[in-house]
Chains A and B, each alone.
Chain A
Amino acid sequence: MAEAKRTFVEFVLVSVVGLAVGLTANAVNGRGLSLGKDYFRDELRSQLREKNRAQHSSDTRPGQPDGHAGKAGPFDEGAALEAVAERLRELQLQPITHEETVEIYGDPLCAQGVYIFVDARDDELYGEGHIPGAYQLDHYRIEDYIGPVLEACRGAEKVVVYCHGGDCEDSELAALYLRDDCGLSPSILFVNVGGIEAWKKHDLEIEKGKRLSGEIVGGSGDE
């Protein structure tokens, strides 16, 4: 009994010291988290969910089918991407398909910086390969990247944000940051649902390393 009591007291002590060590290490760590930052925009999501629920219950009459049921989407990549697109629409963002993304990339206005691409992934993944000329905006460390991105966005007519593709939330979080925190017009902001995965799958050219590094690979695809 005495041993059990001592074990428990030690456990509490280790927990308290662990909490203190954790908070200190996180504060000292340059890549630490901001404890008061809503990284995943969960508050916005729950607000919109509530709003949609209220709207949905007033729209749907008894005996009538669900408003979204049977709605065919343009995302031929699969139902999973259609679900992501639906999630983006709920957040009042504009999802675009891989084909639309390629079309924007091929437009001469893209080379002039009127249409721009924003890669929302981290340093490692961005360095492994991104859409040529895309700016990097890792929204978890926004202060390190936002300067040049914002400057480019201010003169742009279309801003396409992408991440890995599929379930990846980074592009929508970066887009939400640009829209809600930087005041970028929602009409020029697009989120590519297929992401870099679809881009690579079609063997389109990608740029390795830093932006405008000139190290372009691939490009024999269906651009």
Chain B
Amino acid sequence: MSERRGRLRRLDQTGIPLLVARLVMGGLFIWMGLVKGLDPVDFMKLIREYQMVPDEAWRLLNLMAAVLPWVEVLCGVLLVTGVALRGTAFMILLMLTGFTIVVTMRAIGIYTAKDIAFCAIKFDCGCGAGVVYICHKIPENIGLLLMSLVVLLSRSRRFCLRPEVIPLGRGLQPAAVPAIAESAELLKASAGHKSDGTERFRRE
């Protein structure tokens, strides 16, 4: 068990799984976000079919249709460039979980209303890829969810522009991040040199 874990850690340290997950998800999110964002009317019509928003809250529907595709594009760009990785991965995890639930619920609704096999159900889910079979869509989403977990849990930060954008706060342990620990050591050392210098000056 620990040997397996060690192998996984070594694989993670190469940065390859993280890079693959970032590029696949990032590329997909940029492409699908652009398809929807450049023509938001079609996307608005599609998300209305899910009946998630009551009729009276049509402003919320407009806002969702206008903003969601560009949030996807932004997440895609952040993943590809390797910026704010964990926050972005968490965001994608939440979005994908929501999308998967509503798509599955809609498919179940169609399944109960029409007398057809579950895997024969196909519709335009509003994902940006047009009409899809539900039995393709659900595994695809699960795959993407797993990839977002890879990004969220990976310790590697190779091939990333700026994986963490939030500096560590007072309550955070510097030892948890080697770079911060090193900086802390350097600061301590330079402070020591300064005091030595002052002492020497006074003596002189």
Q: Which residues of A are interface residues toward B (Cβ below 8 A)?
A: 2-3, 5-15, 17-19, 21-23, 25-26, 29, 31-40, 42-43, 45-46, 122, 140-141
In the A-B complex, the 5 residue pairs with the smallest Cβ-Cβ separation, listed nearest first, are: A10-B87, A22-B67, A18-B71, A22-B70, A42-B55
Looking across the interface, which residue of chain B has its beta carbon closest to that of A2?
A: B172
- Give 13 A-B pairs besides A13-B165, A29-B38, A31-B41 with Cβ atoms closer than 8 angstroms: A2-B168, A5-B172, A11-B86, A13-B87, A18-B74, A19-B67, A19-B71, A21-B71, A21-B73, A25-B73, A31-B38, A38-B58, A46-B55
Please pick, from B48, B71, B86, B88, the residue contacting A6 in the complex, using a CB distance under 8 A: B86
Residues in A whose Cβ lies below 8 Å from that of B84: 10, 13-14
B contact face: mostly helix, strand, loop, or mixed: helix
Residues in A whose Cβ lies below 8 Å from that of B56: 42-43, 46
Inter-chain CA distance A75–B62, complex, in Å, is 34
A6 touches B75 (CB 8 A): no
| Bitwise interface map of B from 29 to 72 toward A, beta carbon under 8 Å scored 1, else 0 | 00000000111110010001000000110110011011111110
Residues in A whose Cβ lies below 8 Å from that of B173: 2
- Asked whether any CB of chain A lies closer than 8 Å to the CB of B166, the reply is yes
Looking across the interface, which residue of chain B has its beta carbon closest to that of A140?
A: B41
- Asked whether any CB of chain A lies closer than 8 Å to the CB of B159, the reply is no
Looking across the interface, which residue of chain B has its beta carbon closest to that of A6?
A: B166
Inter-chain CA distance A5–B168, complex, in Å, is 10
Looking across the interface, which residue of chain A has its beta carbon closest to that of B63?
A: A35
Residues in A whose Cβ lies below 8 Å from that of B90: 7-8, 10-11
| Contact of A22 with B171 at beta-carbon distance under 8 Å, contacts A35-B62, A42-B58, A45-B55 already known | no
10 A-B residue pairs with Cβ-Cβ distance under 8 Å, sorted by A, are A3-B176, A5-B172, A10-B84, A11-B88, A31-B39, A33-B66, A35-B62, A36-B62, A39-B44, A46-B55
Closest chain A CB from B162 CB (angstroms): 11
Inter-chain CA distance A6–B169, complex, in Å, is 9
Residues in B whose Cβ lies below 8 Å from that of A46: 55-56
Residues in A whose Cβ lies below 8 Å from that of B48: 40
Closest chain A CB from B72 CB (angstroms): 9
Q: Which of A6, A21, A36 has the most CB of B within 10 A?
A: A6
- Asked whether any CB of chain A lies closer than 8 Å to the CB of B149, the reply is no
- Asked whether any CB of chain A lies closer than 8 Å to the CB of B152, the reply is yes
Residues in B whose Cβ lies below 8 Å from that of A29: 37-38, 40
Interface size class of B (residues with CB under 8 A): 35 or more
A contact face: mostly helix, strand, loop, or mixed: helix
Inter-chain CA distance A215–B75, complex, in Å, is 45
Residues in A whose Cβ lies below 8 Å from that of B59: 35-36
Please pick, from A10, A21, A40, A140, the residue contacting B165 in the complex, using a CB distance under 8 A: A10
Residues in A whose Cβ lies below 8 Å from that of B73: 21, 25
B86 touches A7 (CB 8 A): yes
Please pick, from B68, B87, B172, the residue contacting A11 in the complex, using a CB distance under 8 A: B87
Residues in A whose Cβ lies below 8 Å from that of B88: 10-11, 14
- Asked whether any CB of chain A lies closer than 8 Å to the CB of B91, the reply is yes
Closest chain A CB from B33 CB (angstroms): 10
Closest chain A CB from B199 CB (angstroms): 37
Inter-chain CA distance A35–B44, complex, in Å, is 11
A22 touches B166 (CB 8 A): no
Please pick, from A7, A9, A23, the residue contacting B67 in the complex, using a CB distance under 8 A: A23
Inter-chain CA distance A40–B65, complex, in Å, is 13
Looking across the interface, which residue of chain B has its beta carbon closest to that of A12?
A: B87
Please pick, from A8, A37, A141, the residue contacting B62 in the complex, using a CB distance under 8 A: A37
Residues in B whose Cβ lies below 8 Å from that of A14: 74-75, 78, 84, 87-88, 91
B74 touches A21 (CB 8 A): yes
Closest chain A CB from B98 CB (angstroms): 13
B91 touches A11 (CB 8 A): yes
B133-188 residues at the A interface, CB under 8 angstroms: 152, 164-166, 168-169, 171-173, 176
Inter-chain CA distance A21–B75, complex, in Å, is 11
